[in-house]
A and B are shown apart, each in its own frame.
Chain A
Amino acid sequence: MRPIDWIVFAAFLAYVVWDGVRRRGSAKDLEGYFAGSRRIPWWAAGLSIMATQASAITILGTTGQGHEHGMDFVQTYFGLPFAMVLLCIFLVPLYRSRAILTPYEYLEERFGPVTRTLASVIFLASRCLALGVVIYAPAVALSAMIGLETWQSVVVIGALATLYTVVGGVAAVIWTDVKQMTVILLGLGLILFVLLRDLLPTFAGGRLLELAGAAGKLNALEVEPEHAALWPRTWTEAAAGRGTPSFWEEKYNLWSGLFGGLFLHLSYFGCDHSQAQRLLTGKDARQSRLSLLMSAVAKVPMQVLVLLIGVLMWLFYAVHGQPMLYKTAHVERAASAALAPQVAELERRFAAAVDERRTQMQRLAAVPGRPAADPAALRDYQASVRAVAALRREARTLVGGAVDANGRPKDDPDTNDIFCRFILDRMPPVVLGLIVAAIFAAAMSSIDSVLNALSSATVIDVYRRWLRPRCSEAHALRVGRLLTLAWGALATLMATLFAGGGSVVEQINEFGSYFYGSLLGIFALALLVPRAGGRAGTIGLLCGMVAVLVVRCTWKVEFLWFNVIGCLAVLASGWLVSRWAPRRG
């Protein structure tokens, strides 16, 4: 980064911290600290909802997904608008008719204190671990850009977000999120502009999309499942290559996005306190509904934009030549004496493959009409695309150092490093600083929300409920601040444990899916089965998590379906228990 980039970057960070800290005046009691004194306007809460979800992962992981796998990931969000509408109808009135500070307080009213505490603890455990990943992702970017160790970057990001959240509470979280979301959108807009300015003189807009589409990158909506078999394979069968791949193994298609995504987002926005907290900060149910509907309208188009940026980055590299390795650790290992001869040979083959792909791209671009009009040119182009991808995979396997269960070298994906490499190499001064600031903004906007929510759930559902029920407001507020600090420190520590490969965005969604279905199921049980009481709630919640665990360990099923399985298992087991142990009174 150049000095001017550093100035832009540092100025933005300083502004965010100052803006968060100056909100301390509104955090004088528990309702101020954890619910913004219920005076947050809907548009600010709506932007905060989007900023919390659009973490650094959205920028790093999703653009990387677009570059590597095309646009199919957007289908995960197809259930989101419908989830938001259902939440507006069922959960918002439930929350806003009570003076609650966490959604789990409602569960006590309905099922008793054990179910409430269990749900809250599930939230605390799952979010703390996921928060580690949220801090880790931008730390990788920072490390690659300014030469810090990953753990040092983790500490910087974790410490800054913790600082203003401890002081300013949820008001600081929401108002800094507003600024952070603005910078994120500005950063994405600038990257799109730079990419289009470079690519459009080479190929017209339609031809550009046809070239990306012919490389299999514009798979935004897949109605026909690739596999028709409905019975899932076991892991043993899959590992041995036996049995037919099933519908449930497909990661992204219209159906997993609509149904799995619907359950995931119902749970994330309605039952995960880090998001549901926003519904408690407006002055009434109208404000809460509008903040949810803002996301319902904007989220899918925003994801399309981010994935499209990833696809355009792929086109950019296809036109201008691309590095074989994106990850800094890979590049460093490739330079070692032991690997140098093999890497040099791979580099030579890779350069030839990239040249061939460019030649085939130009040949296909010259075909009149659509690419399919010349099947031979299309076939050769696709073969060249596959060849480059295969060589990159071979190189990552060689230098990545990752091994499978049998001790054989395996691919060490660099999905999250592609974006960093691109902006470092290609962005002009000032813009680079702004985009690095946007990555940080995205990271902090997710971390701050979760920290405040973790602290809130610990104080309200555990400390004040079980340990010190008669403590004063001032005492509970002090404990809340201390717990924000403690959760910040713990999450920062967790982040250092996630320094693995893979796509971070998938890790987060997958991890959440182990718990989210059950969390949603317990709220659904409360609403749909009036007979269900405390026993039904507690047993149902446990059965939901066990069901997901059993399915996860036995069958090859993609993570989005865990949300459906967990929810239905809670409902079914809760309903059964309610038959012999109905709710009293």
Chain B
Amino acid sequence: MPTPAPTEPTEPPPLGSWPRVYVLVGALAAAVMAALWWFTERFHVPLGPP
């Protein structure tokens, strides 16, 4: 049976709180997907039927 880990003082999260960090990561991921959507719309031409 695992024993509880000893608690140690930890440094504060970046940006002051973890929810802010998660929102930033989610926003970055959405921005990358939006950029890829634009990239596909701009350059991709599906191969038509032979």
User: CB within 8 Å of B: which residues of A?
Assistant: 70, 74, 78, 81-82, 84-85, 88-89, 96-100, 105-106, 108-109, 209-210, 212-223, 254, 283-286, 289-290, 293, 296-297, 300-301, 304, 371-372, 378-379, 382-383, 385-386
Question: How would residues 7 to 50 of chain B score, 1 for a CB under 8 Å from any chain A CB and 0 otherwise?
Answer: 01011011000100110011011001100110110111111101
**Contact, CB under 8 Å: B40 / A218:** yes
Query: Which of A81, A218, A285, A304 has a CB less than 8 Å from the CB of B10?
Result: A285
Q: Which residues of A contact B22 (CB under 8 A)?
A: 85, 88-89
**Contact, CB under 8 Å: B2 / A82:** no
Shortest CB–CB separation between residue A422 and chain B, in angstroms? 22
**Contact, CB under 8 Å: A210 / B43:** yes
**Contact, CB under 8 Å: B4 / A97:** yes
Instruction: Provide a sorted-by-A list of 30 A–B residue pairs whose CB atoms are within 8 angstroms.
Output: A70-B44, A78-B29, A81-B25, A81-B26, A81-B29, A82-B26, A84-B25, A88-B18, A97-B5, A98-B3, A99-B4, A105-B2, A108-B2, A213-B45, A215-B47, A216-B47, A217-B44, A218-B43, A219-B44, A221-B37, A221-B40, A222-B40, A223-B37, A289-B21, A296-B29, A300-B32, A300-B33, A372-B45, A382-B47, A383-B50
Shortest CB–CB separation between residue B45 and chain A, in angstroms? 5
Q: Which residues of B contact A219 (CB under 8 A)?
A: 40, 44, 46
Given known contacts A78-B33, A88-B22, what 12 new A-B pairs fall within 8 Å (CB)? Answer: A82-B26, A82-B29, A85-B25, A97-B5, A108-B1, A209-B43, A212-B43, A213-B43, A218-B43, A220-B36, A290-B14, A296-B25
Shortest CB–CB separation between residue B12 and chain A, in angstroms? 8
**Contact, CB under 8 Å: B13 / A100:** no
Q: Which residues of A contact B3 (CB under 8 A)?
A: 98-99
Q: Which of B3, B6, B18, B37 has the most CB of A within 10 A?
A: B18
Interchain CA distance A55-B5 in the complex, whole Å: 32
**Contact, CB under 8 Å: B50 / A284:** no
Q: Which residues of A contact B18 (CB under 8 A)?
A: 88-89, 289
Shortest CB–CB separation between residue B38 and chain A, in angstroms? 9
Shortest CB–CB separation between residue A220 and chain B, in angstroms? 4
**Contact, CB under 8 Å: B36 / A221:** yes
Interchain CA distance A285-B5 in the complex, whole Å: 11
User: CB within 8 Å of A: which residues of B?
Assistant: 1-6, 8, 10-11, 13-14, 18, 21-22, 25-26, 28-29, 32-33, 36-37, 39-40, 42-48, 50
**Contact, CB under 8 Å: B5 / A98:** yes
Task: Please list the 10 inter-chain residue pairs (A to B) with the smallest Cβ-Cβ separation, ordered nearest first.
Answer: A213-B43, A81-B29, A216-B47, A220-B36, A218-B44, A99-B5, A98-B2, A221-B36, A218-B43, A100-B2
**Contact, CB under 8 Å: A385 / B47:** yes
Interchain CA distance A220-B39 in the complex, whole Å: 8
**Contact, CB under 8 Å: A74 / B4:** no
Q: Which residues of B contact A286 (CB under 8 A)?
A: 10-11, 13
Interchain CA distance A100-B5 in the complex, whole Å: 8
**Contact, CB under 8 Å: A378 / B45:** yes
Q: Which residues of A contact B29 (CB under 8 A)?
A: 78, 81-82, 296, 300
- A213 with B28, Cβ < 8 A, contacts A99-B4, A221-B33 known: no
Q: Which residues of A contact B2 (CB under 8 A)?
A: 98-100, 105-106, 108-109
Q: Which residue of B lies closest to A213 (CB)?
A: B43
Q: Which residues of B contact A98 (CB under 8 A)?
A: 2-5
Q: Which residues of B contact A78 (CB under 8 A)?
A: 29, 33
- A284 with B43, Cβ < 8 A, contacts A89-B22, A97-B5 known: no
Q: Which of A100, A209, A220 has the most CB of B within 10 A?
A: A220
- A220 with B44, Cβ < 8 A, contacts A82-B29, A296-B29 known: yes
Q: Which residues of A contact B11 (CB under 8 A)?
A: 286
- A216 with B45, Cβ < 8 A, contacts A286-B11, A289-B18 known: yes
Interchain CA distance A221-B14 in the complex, whole Å: 31
Query: Which of B4, B28, B45 has a CB less than 8 Å from the CB of A297?
Result: B28
Q: Which residues of A contact B40 (CB under 8 A)?
A: 218-222
- A214 with B37, Cβ < 8 A, contacts A105-B2, A284-B10 known: no
Shortest CB–CB separation between residue A255 and chain B, in angstroms? 12
Q: Which of A96, A209, A218, A283 has the most CB of B within 10 A?
A: A218
Interchain CA distance A245-B9 in the complex, whole Å: 56
Shortest CB–CB separation between residue A499 and chain B, in angstroms? 32
Interchain CA distance A283-B37 in the complex, whole Å: 39
Q: Which residues of B contact A216 (CB under 8 A)?
A: 44-47
- A213 with B44, Cβ < 8 A, contacts A109-B2, A286-B10, A286-B11 known: yes
Q: Which of B39, B43, B50 has the most CB of A within 10 A?
A: B43
**Contact, CB under 8 Å: B45 / A293:** no
Q: Which residues of B contact A215 (CB under 8 A)?
A: 47
Shortest CB–CB separation between residue A424 and chain B, in angstroms? 29
Interchain CA distance A304-B6 in the complex, whole Å: 41
Q: Which residue of B lies closest to A283 (CB)?
A: B8
